[in-house]
Amino acid sequence: MRLADQLRTTTFLLTLRYMVLFFLSVTILFVFISWSATDYIEQEIDATIQAEVAGLNEQFTQLGPQGLARIIAMRISANPDGNAVYLIADASLNPLLGNISKWPELTSDTNGWVSFEHNEANGDSITVRARIFAPEPDLRLIVGRKVRVLAQLTRLLDRALFWGLGITLALALTGGLMMSNNVLRRVNQFNLTSRRIMDGDLSQRIITAGTGDEFDELAKNLNAMMDQIESLMKNIQHISDNVAHDLRTPLTRLRNRLEDLRQDADSGETDDIDCCIEDAEGLLATFASLLSIARIESGTYEADLNHVNLSQCVRDAYELYKALADEKSIHLSCDAPGEINVRGDRNLLFQAITNLLDNAIKYTPAGGTVSISLQQKPAHIEVSVADSGPGIPADQRDQVLQRFFRLDKSRSEPGAGLGLSLVQAIAQRHGARLELDDNAPGLLIRLIFDDQTDR
């Protein structure tokens, strides 16, 4: 099975849909985690700074500016690589003491917090969150913390999000493909079997995997349904065989009595009796056509399948109908070269071709043309019959294939409206299709046998 088929399956699309949903929810979760973690860390930092500011303020009240400077110098030297940032400056912001070299460019928020970018010794830029306080009018003090942890955490979360979602995507795609592959294989089995059944082999059944899953359940039910249909079909066949026997036998009697009557009748009555015999025969012929269409359609007709030289069939049909066409002054031409073979039942195919010719000649007025041709196209074999008659309106082309359907203008012609139905039934039995087209003017009927290499 092709990848494109697989990508179209419901399973795959469902997987894809769930994946998008999962993607969204994971992203939301990550954003939330990242947001709350950042918030928590910020609060921690803020609390630390607040505590330190409070502490330093107390030291200043007790020990004065010298004491404050001493304590800050001590804290800086105790942890030179730490995250703490201190700077003491005078009223005109000239730095006096601290572990940053100059008064920074500050961005402040509404709550009295400031932040600034600090350049590390190794060149990295890092954000510092800080508070400024003035223990006395000509003294400014910055107490801050580098928010290194926060940056690290954000980077970590971003990476986790990227890889996590990437792997999820890959797993979802593979899983989706595998699942759809699995489902498709089962569904294909169903399709294959039902196609064989539609082709007329009613004995086909879907193989169950024996796992008792929902597909097996479905297969079991379908198989049970097919069992029932098959037995019904057999019943119908049985009934129609019996009907054929039981109805045709009394009709035989009727016909035989009429023949007897005719022998003993006066010469004046024989014509009437002949008409009755002809009517009875017409009735029986219609009945016979109907039965044979039904039997061919139901697939119970055991066609004698062989390689049939379709070219020969077409030429024979042409030869058979040439005389009739001549009599009606219709120009009949034939183009059926060489030996083109199809697999089928020779008598049925010939009957289909003669029915098409018969129709074409019947509905073409004197002086018209009818042509039959057989062509080997790249992908199919095509028998086409074209006439210069009145044609069939596009909206009625499907209907003429139905039993007993007759165009209003053809009701005066003899026939029961079964000719094309029989051709259609024969075509279907051979896996061929019947196409009706406008021959402008007239009708063009094509009997198309698709490539039969796999038959």
Note the residues at the interface with another protein (CB under 8 A): 241, 244-245, 248-249, 251-253, 255-256, 259-260, 274, 277-278, 280-281, 284-285, 288-289, 291-292, 295, 301-304, 316, 319-321, 323-324, 327, 345-348, 350-351, 354, 358
Q: How far is the CB of 9 from another protein (least distance, A)?
A: 42
Name, in order, each residue with C-beta under 8 angstroms of 17's C-beta and a sequence gap of 6 or more: none
Kindly state the tokens that stand for 19. Answer: 């994946």
Sign of the CA dihedral running 438, 440, 443, 445: negative
Q: Between 150 and 418, whose beta carbon lies closer to another protein?
A: 418
The C-alpha atoms of residue 282 and residue 146 are separated, in whole angstroms, by 108
DSSP one-letter code for 19 = H
Q: How far is the CB of 252 from another protein (least distance, A)?
A: 3
Q: Between 206 and 360, whose beta carbon lies closer to another protein?
A: 360
Q: How far is the CB of 358 from another protein (least distance, A)?
A: 5
Q: How far is the CB of 259 from another protein (least distance, A)?
A: 6
Q: Between 304 and 398, whose beta carbon lies closer to another protein?
A: 304
Q: How far is the CB of 446 from another protein (least distance, A)?
A: 22
Q: How far is the CB of 435 from another protein (least distance, A)?
A: 24
- The closest alpha carbon to 141, from 74, 68, 41, belongs to 68
- Asked if residues 390 and 382 have their Cβ atoms less than 8 Å apart, the reply is no
Q: How far is the CB of 353 from another protein (least distance, A)?
A: 10
Q: How far is the CB of 334 from another protein (least distance, A)?
A: 14
Kindly state the tokens that stand for 255. Answer: 């016909």
Kindly state the tokens that stand for 324. Answer: 């009739």
Q: Between 36 and 235, whose beta carbon lies closer to another protein?
A: 235
Name, in order, each residue with C-beta under 8 angstroms of 350's C-beta and a sequence gap of 6 or more: 313, 316, 317
Q: Between 235 and 256, whose beta carbon lies closer to another protein?
A: 256
Q: How many residues does the chain have?
A: 455
Numbers of helices and strands, H then E, in the chain: 8, 13
Helix, strand, coil percentages in the chain from 3-state DSSP, rounded to 5: 55, 20, 25
Which of 213-220's residues contact partners 24+ apart within 8 Å by CB, and which partners?
A: 215/186, 218/190, 219/190
Q: Between 11 and 371, whose beta carbon lies closer to another protein?
A: 371
The C-alpha atoms of residue 439 and residue 385 are separated, in whole angstroms, by 10
Q: Between 100 and 291, whose beta carbon lies closer to another protein?
A: 291
In angstroms, the Cα distances linking 185 to 180, 191, 193, 203, 272 are 8, 10, 12, 21, 68
Q: How far is the CB of 4 from another protein (least distance, A)?
A: 43
Q: Between 90 and 278, whose beta carbon lies closer to another protein?
A: 278
DSSP one-letter code for 408 = G
The C-alpha atoms of residue 449 and residue 33 are separated, in whole angstroms, by 66
Kindly state the tokens that stand for 212. Answer: 């008792």
**317: amino acid identity, one letter:** A
Q: Between 2 and 245, whose beta carbon lies closer to another protein?
A: 245
